[in-house]
Amino acid sequence: MSFQQAQPLDRLRFRALVEYDGTDYFGFQRQRIEQPTIQGELERVLTDLTRSPVTVTGAGRTDSGVHAMGQMISFTIAWQHGVDALRNALNANLPNDIGILKIEEAAPSFHPRYDARRRAYKYSIYNAAVRSPLRRRYSWYVQRQLDLDNMNQAAALLVGTRDFATFGTPPQGINTVREIYQAYFYRQQEFILFFVEANAFLYRMVRSLVGSLAAVGDGSWSVTDFADALYACDRRRSGSAAPPQGLSLVSVVYEERETE
């Protein structure tokens, strides 16, 4: 009796839009020691589904406690059941605080980090007289009233191509020059929200910016103080970094389309 040898499945490249609550994770990137991460959970589930080791790459390495509603990932697997089935299988097996919003096939060369043209973050400050326990996981509580006009005057200085060495360190190499396209604050009831979009960000850059801009808002710094710190290109001149729970990766934009 002869048996027909099973043909190996083609390995396909996929890109997926991921949303997660980062409260209980040590950031996106897999850690050397056994700590829960977003990448680690995604790889665990994909490995279980395909019965083969899978490496996931993300567009942004969000810090411990930081959230995302627009993280883009990619991975290559052998899969024959279609993208909807893959999305459903992932969502059925991932923890409740990680979800796949969208998935599609990608070019074999697609890289979610290096192919990205723009990234946007939002930071949420809960600016009220009394703290809110229900909002503590997703915002920074600041009791002192913040001056939105002064904060926006300072934020306007960020737009353009600048050396942002004061507010972060490069994830690799030594280049600290980035281009910011938009940076502004707006108010929604008790919340003050900061939106910033750039071609790329330094490590801890957004949180350092928010902490320094909040110092402008509460009167600890003037707009001139902020400008002096920005142009000093000296990490020691940054204000204290805002805590991670108020920060969310909103979107990653690629040349051919925008992911929202």
CATH class of the structural domain 11-105: alpha beta
Q: Is 63 a catalytic residue?
A: yes
Quote the CA–CA distance of 71 and 250 in Å, as a whole number. 7
Quote the CA–CA distance of 161 and 137 in Å, as a whole number. 33
DSSP letter assigned to residue 203: B
- Digit-by-digit pLDDT tens for the chain (260 residues) are 443 444 456 889 999 999 999 999 999 998 877 899 999 999 999 999 999 999 999 999 999 999 999 999 999 999 989 999 999 999 999 999 999 999 999 999 999 999 999 999 999 999 999 999 999 999 999 999 999 999 999 999 999 999 999 999 998 889 999 999 999 999 999 999 999 999 999 999 999 999 999 999 999 999 999 999 999 999 999 999 999 999 999 999 998 654 44
| pLDDT for 113 | 94
| pLDDT for 8 | 56
Q: Which residue has the tokens 């060369």?
A: 109
Q: What is the CA angle 166-21-133, rounded to 5?
A: 90
Considering the candidates 10, 21, 24, 63, report the single residue annotated as catalytic. Answer: 63
All structural domains of the chain with their residue ranges: 11-105, 117-255
Topology at the third CATH level for domain 117-255: Alpha-Beta Plaits (3.30.70)
11-105 shares its CATH topology with 117-255: yes
